[in-house]
Amino acid sequence: MTLLLAVKALTQENRDFLAQYDIDVVTPDTVTDDQLSEVVISYAWDNTIGNKILSLPNTKLKWIQAQSAGVDYLPLPLLAKRGITVTNASGLKALPIAQTVLGYLLYFARGLNVYATRTHWEPFTDQYLISELPVLVFGTGRIGQQIAHHIKAFGGKVYGVNTSGRPVAGFDETFPITDYQAGLAKAQVVVDGLPGTKNTENFFDDHFFAQFNQLFLFINIGRGTTLNQSALLEAIDDSRVKYAALDVTTPEPLPHDHPLFERPQILLTQHTSWGENINAGRVGGLFRLFEKNVPSFMKDQTFIQNVVDLNKGY
């Protein structure tokens, strides 16, 4: 018998699947203290109960299935030391996040940002086609690839930045992060899709924004920690960056009097770029990712997909 802690809800169908592998399910509401140390799998992660498990000397925890693509909220060094595997939800939210990014692009490109608050007749025609706004995406994983796919479908140009500059399907060209400037020279829109790691902290700082004369749009759907928000605000106020759309910020929630709320050039979507209508689909989607690793994990504690490199952090 293997014990699974279901931090996210499971359907009866999910439970039937787990029963085939002799996996028993407990939930945060009903789990006893004795059971906590027996938990082998955490299906989704909650810091309160999760840290309680990790503090137990005799914890049997071996596998955490994160509910998100980014896992910077997990105690990764501790997990590495303990030999606990983390699988992430990379790919699960790629489609909704990419649609939000295309929404941002068209919102500013088609002038909807102006009309959203205009209450008198004053036509605004400083508009763009997607093909007139080449995009550079930092991060060429599943979210970046989905963004590239949509931009290509509109006849646009899209460039990527990753660690090595290796080519990635769907991008017109890719650049290594050590030479991202070559990509920047081609772009009018920058998408920050970087994971939250030590290496990416404050990557988009005042030196980065100093490179622009007038960037049309800066987007952050990566992690708030990758962006120096004060540097962005200065660039917006100096018109070095015309518009910005931020899904992630530091902190979250932002205090009500935060200057990011005060700039009409900035759209804040409050970490909801992943939203879709079918709630059942959200839960089911995570399980469909998770269940692919169950047979190999139960056989010999190996995994076939979505394993996080705990040193890299993604």
Binding residues for its own copies, per CB under 8 A? 95-96, 99-100, 102-104, 106-107, 109-113, 115-130, 132, 150, 153-154, 252-256, 261-262, 267-273, 275-278
- The CB-of-253 to its own copies minimum distance in angstroms stands at 4
Note whether 93 and 314 are within 8 A (CB): no
Q: Which is nearer to its own copies, 75 or 91 (CB)?
A: 91
- The CB-of-241 to its own copies minimum distance in angstroms stands at 18
Q: Which is nearer to its own copies, 208 or 218 (CB)?
A: 218
- The CB-of-165 to its own copies minimum distance in angstroms stands at 28
Q: Which is nearer to its own copies, 29 or 262 (CB)?
A: 262
Q: Which is nearer to its own copies, 63 or 107 (CB)?
A: 107
- The CB-of-134 to its own copies minimum distance in angstroms stands at 12
Residues 6+ apart with CB under 8 A from 230: 206
What does the DSSP assignment read for the chain? -EEEEESS---HHHHHHHHHTTEEEE-TTT--HHHHTTEEEEES--HHHHHHHHH-TT----EEE-SSS--TTS-HHHHHHHT-EEE--TTTTHHHHHHHHHHHHHHHHTTHHHHTT--S---------GGGS-EEEE--SHHHHHHHHHHHHTT--EEEEESS----TT-SEEEEGGGHHHHHTT-SEEEE----STTTTT-B-HHHHTT-S-EEEEEE-S-GGGB-HHHHHHHHHTTSEEEEEES--SSSSPPTT-GGGG-TTEEE-TT-TT--S-HHHHHHHHHHHHHTTHHHHHHHS--SS-B--TTTT-
- The CB-of-146 to its own copies minimum distance in angstroms stands at 11
Q: Which is nearer to its own copies, 36 or 44 (CB)?
A: 44
Q: Which is nearer to its own copies, 62 or 110 (CB)?
A: 110
- The CB-of-6 to its own copies minimum distance in angstroms stands at 21
Note whether 64 and 87 are within 8 A (CB): yes
Q: Which is nearer to its own copies, 127 or 181 (CB)?
A: 127
Residue 27 CA to residue 268 CA, distance in Å, equals 34
- The CB-of-301 to its own copies minimum distance in angstroms stands at 36
Paired tokens of 196: 């939250």
- The CB-of-31 to its own copies minimum distance in angstroms stands at 27
Q: Which is nearer to its own copies, 144 or 165 (CB)?
A: 144
